[in-house]
Amino acid sequence: MGGLSLGRLAFLALVVAIFAFVIAPLLTIVWVSFFSEKILAFPPTGYTISWYARASEIADFANGFLMSVKVGLCATVASLAIGVPAALAIERFPFPGRETIRQVLLSPMYVPAIVAGAAVYIYFIELEILTTFQLAATFSGLVIAHTLVALPWTLRLVCASLVSANTVSEEAARSLGANALQTFLYVTLPIIRPGMIAAAMFSFIASFSDLEKSLFLVGPGKTTLPIAILNYLEWSLDPTIAAVATVQILIIGTALIVSDRFVKLGKVF
């Protein structure tokens, strides 16, 4: 692309500025979490790490965090358990209508979260009236909704690794007499393992950060971290909430960098 002309410098500056626009607010919130004064003022009078301790003492945040981790883990396991077989069927058994099926399974990503959340909430209530089985404002209800949040990520990443892995070694295993299950366990699974790890990471992240689908489904004592943050923000904005946000940024940032070790995100996207 040649040397550094003036035009090229301007272009680079523009790109940097746009990244800064997206990233700067996040750096600001990390910075604010260390401010010593409760009332926000810039620049701060001093720094402290005590807000992190404060945040962990607030029951909504501590319980919300635990709830989000538990729901995230269950949703991740569930979405892998149903998503990996589905990906395998779509990529390895070319049955008629599989493109339609793929779109249906990816649809949770396209249906607006607020619409899906509202619909699932009404559906849960009606189901409860019919069967007396409660799902709204329960742990199981949240896990079901979050499994749907996670499923498209699992499907996409596992499908991507199935597509990029060639089928030669699978065919070789089959022709040497391995049955379908053996072929999957000893040949396919090791090949797609990095994709599965990335799928697990993204599924967890998608569940952990979800706000809109959980909005209708949380209940007293059954609140996820993003909802706890939302509720707190409606009343106050202080370093405590910045500390909570920073913890979430750290967790998700780490998960993203770990996934990149297994599946080069630069190649997937």
Stretch that binds another protein, among 49-57, 69-77, 192-200, 242-250 (CB under 8 A): 242-250
263 binds another protein (CB under 8 A): no
Q: Which of 71, 75, 108, 161 binds another protein (CB under 8 A)?
A: 108
116 makes contact with another protein (CB under 8 A) = yes
User: Of 50-58, 69-77, 107-115, 189-197, which part binds another protein (CB under 8 A)?
Assistant: 107-115
Nearer to another protein, 49 or 257 (CB): 257
Does position 11 interact with another protein (CB under 8 A)? The reply is: yes
Contact 245, 106 (CB under 8 A): no
Does 26 engage in binding with another protein (CB under 8 A)?
Answer: yes
Shortest approach of another protein to residue 172 CB, angstroms?
13
In the window 126-155, what residues touch another protein (CB under 8 A)?
126, 144-145, 147-148, 151, 155
Please enumerate in sequence order all residues whose Cβ is within 8 A of that of 209, keeping only pairs 6 or more positions apart, or say none: 226, 248, 252
Q: Which of 157, 183, 185, 156 is nearest to 168 (CA)?
A: 183
Distance in angstroms (rounded) separating the CA atoms of residues 224 and 218: 7
Site size toward another protein (CB under 8 A) is 98
